[in-house]
Amino acid sequence: MNYLSTLQGMSLEQIQAVIEIMQMSSDAYMFILDLTADTYMMAEKATKRFPFPATVIENCTDTFKDIVYPSDYDMLAAELEKCRSGEKDGHAMEYRWLDRMNRVVWISCKGTVVTGAEGHRLLIGAVSEMGARAKADNITGLRREARFRLNMESALRDNPASVRYLMRIGIDNFKEINEKEGVEAGDEVLRELADCIIKTVDEGVDIYRLVADEFMIVDSGTGGGKEPRAIYRQIQETIAAMAENKEYSRFYTVSGGVLEEDFSGRTVEELMRFTEFALNEAKRNGRNQMMVFDRAAYDIYLKRLDIRKSLRQDVSHDFRGFEVYYQPIVSAADYKLIGAEALLRWKNEKYGSVSPAVFVPILEESGLIIPVGQHVLWEAAKTCKKWKQYVPGFHINVNLSYVQLYKSDLMRDVERCIQEVGIEPESLVLELTESGYIETSDRIKELFRDLKSRKIDLALDDFGTGYSNMRYLKEIDAKTVKIDRSFVVQALRNEYDYNIISHIIDMVHSLGSVVCMEGIEEKEELSKMMATKPDMIQGYYFGKPAPAGQFEKEFLQLTDSP
Ligand code: C2E
Ligand code: MG
Ligand code: MG
State the pairing for strand pair 29-34/39-42: antiparallel
- Measured in Å, residue 216 CA sits from the centre of ligand 1 at 44
pLDDT of 28-40, one tens digit each? 899 999 999 999 9
Of 267, 293, 319, the residue that ends a domain is 293
Angle (nearest 5°) at CA 147 between 144 and 149 = 110
pLDDT of 524-538, one tens digit each? 999 999 999 999 999
Asked if the structure places residue 298 within a domain, the reply is: no
Mean pLDDT estimate for the chain: 90
Which numbered ligand comes closest to the C-alpha of 484?
3
Q: Are residues 246 and 333 in the same domain?
A: no
pLDDT of 390-448, one tens digit each? 999 999 999 999 999 999 999 999 999 999 999 999 999 999 987 776 666 788 888 99
User: Is the CB–ligand 1 distance for residue 525 below 6 Å?
Assistant: no
pLDDT at 143 over 90: no
Q: Are residues 220 and 269 in the same domain?
A: yes
Q: Are residues 35 and 84 in the same domain?
A: yes
Q: Are residues 386 and 527 in the same domain?
A: yes
Of 293, 323, 352, the residue that ends a domain is 293
Provide the domain limits for residue 186: 143-293
Asked if the structure places residue 137 within a domain, the reply is: no
**What's the maximum distance between 2 C-alpha atoms anywhere in the chain?**
112
Q: In this structure, what are the phi and psi dihedrals at residue 551, rounded to the nearest 5 degrees?
A: -60, -45
Give the CA count within 13 Å in the CB-facing half-sphere of 227.
5
Of 271, 293, 315, the residue that ends a domain is 293
DSSP state of 55: S
Percent of the chain at pLDDT > 90 equals 70
- The pLDDT score that the predictor gives to residue 513 is 95
- The pLDDT score that the predictor gives to residue 70 is 81
For ligand 1, atom 42: residue with the closest CA: 399
Asked if the structure places residue 105 within a domain, the reply is: yes
Which numbered ligand comes closest to the C-alpha of 537?
1
- Measured in Å, residue 343 CA sits from the centre of ligand 1 at 6
For ligand 1, atom 22: residue with the closest CA: 519
Burial of 560 (0-12, 13-18, 19+ CB in 10 A): exposed
| Residues forming beta bridges with residue 287, ordered by sequence position | none
- The pLDDT score that the predictor gives to residue 471 is 78
Asked if the structure places residue 135 within a domain, the reply is: no
CATH of the domain at 285: 3.30.70.270
Q: Are residues 356 and 424 in the same domain?
A: yes
Is pTM beyond 0.85 here?
Answer: no
Q: Are residues 468 and 341 in the same domain?
A: yes
User: Is the CB–ligand 1 distance for residue 462 below 6 Å?
Assistant: yes
- The pLDDT score that the predictor gives to residue 133 is 46
pLDDT of 221-266, one tens digit each? 877 789 999 999 999 999 999 989 988 888 999 999 999 999 999 9
In whole angstroms, give the CA distance from residue 463 to residue 329: 17
Closest CA relative to residue 104, chosen from 158, 141, 149, 57: 158
Q: Are residues 71 and 200 in the same domain?
A: no
- How far is the first Cα of the chain from the last one, in angstroms, to the nearest whole number? 102
Q: Are residues 80 and 167 in the same domain?
A: no
Q: In this structure, what are the phi and psi dihedrals at residue 126, rounded to the nearest 5 degrees?
A: -140, 145
- The pLDDT score that the predictor gives to residue 562 is 42
Asked if the structure places residue 561 within a domain, the reply is: no
pLDDT at 23 over 80: no
User: Is the CB–ligand 1 distance for residue 513 below 6 Å?
Assistant: no
Domain total of the chain:
3
Q: In this structure, what are the phi and psi dihedrals at residue 540, rounded to the nearest 5 degrees?
A: -60, -30
CATH of the domain at 440: 3.20.20.450
pLDDT of 152-210, one tens digit each? 998 998 899 999 999 999 999 899 999 999 999 999 999 999 989 988 998 889 999 99
In whole angstroms, give the CA distance from residue 236 to residue 341: 49
- What confidence tier does 218 reach under pLDDT thresholds 50, 70, 90? very high
Kindly tell me the number of DSSP H helices and DSSP E strands found in the chain.
Answer: 21, 22
pLDDT at 51 over 50: yes
- The pLDDT score that the predictor gives to residue 141 is 75
Q: Which string of DSSP letters, residue by residue, matches 199-260?
A: HHSPTT-EEEE-STTEEEEEE-S-S----HHHHHHHHHHHHHHHHHHTTTSS---EEEEEE-
- Measured in Å, residue 61 CA sits from the centre of ligand 3 at 71
- The pLDDT score that the predictor gives to residue 16 is 73
pLDDT at 48 over 80: yes
CA distances from 282 to 126, 165, 169, 414, 448 (A): 47, 17, 10, 39, 36
Asked if the structure places residue 115 within a domain, the reply is: yes
Percent of the chain at pLDDT > 70 equals 94
pLDDT of 95-129, one tens digit each? 888 888 777 787 889 999 998 888 899 999 999 88
Asked if the structure places residue 299 within a domain, the reply is: no
- The pLDDT score that the predictor gives to residue 560 is 44
Asked if the structure places residue 136 within a domain, the reply is: no
- The pLDDT score that the predictor gives to residue 212 is 83
Which numbered ligand comes closest to the C-alpha of 481?
3
Do 56 and 16 touch, CB atoms closer than 8 A?
Answer: yes
Among 359, 369, 518, 529, the mutation site with the greatest number of ligand 1 atoms within 8 A of its Cβ is: 518
Q: Are residues 527 and 389 in the same domain?
A: yes
pLDDT at 3 over 60: no
For ligand 1, atom 25: residue with the closest CA: 343
486-507 burial, b if ≥16 CB within 10 A, otherwise e?
ebbebbbeeeebbebbeebbee
- The pLDDT score that the predictor gives to residue 473 is 82
pLDDT of 353-399, one tens digit each? 999 999 999 999 999 999 999 999 999 999 999 999 999 999 999 99
Give the CA count within 13 Å in the CB-facing half-sphere of 219.
21
- The pLDDT score that the predictor gives to residue 559 is 46
Residues 6+ away with beta carbon under 8 Å from 515: 480, 481, 482, 483, 504, 505, 508, 509, 533, 534, 535, 536
CATH of the domain at 85: 3.30.450.20
- The pLDDT score that the predictor gives to residue 476 is 83
pLDDT of 76-97, one tens digit each? 999 999 999 999 999 988 888 8
- What confidence tier does 561 reach under pLDDT thresholds 50, 70, 90? very low
Q: Taking each helix axis from N to C terminus, what angle separates 369-387 and 356-366, rounded to the nearest 10 degrees?
A: 120
For ligand 1, atom 8: residue with the closest CA: 343
Q: Are residues 251 and 358 in the same domain?
A: no
Q: Are residues 215 and 125 in the same domain?
A: no
- Measured in Å, residue 408 CA sits from the centre of ligand 1 at 23
Q: Which string of DSSP letters, residue by residue, matches 368-409?
A: THHHHHHHHHHHHHHHHHHHTTTSTT-EEEEE--HHHHHHS-
User: Is the CB–ligand 1 distance for residue 404 below 6 Å?
Assistant: no
- What confidence tier does 144 reach under pLDDT thresholds 50, 70, 90? confident
Angle (nearest 5°) at CA 193 between 192 and 196 = 90
For ligand 1, atom 35: residue with the closest CA: 356
pLDDT of 455-483, one tens digit each? 999 999 998 887 767 777 888 889 999 99
Q: Are residues 237 and 378 in the same domain?
A: no
Do 87 and 6 touch, CB atoms closer than 8 A?
Answer: no
pLDDT at 24 over 70: no
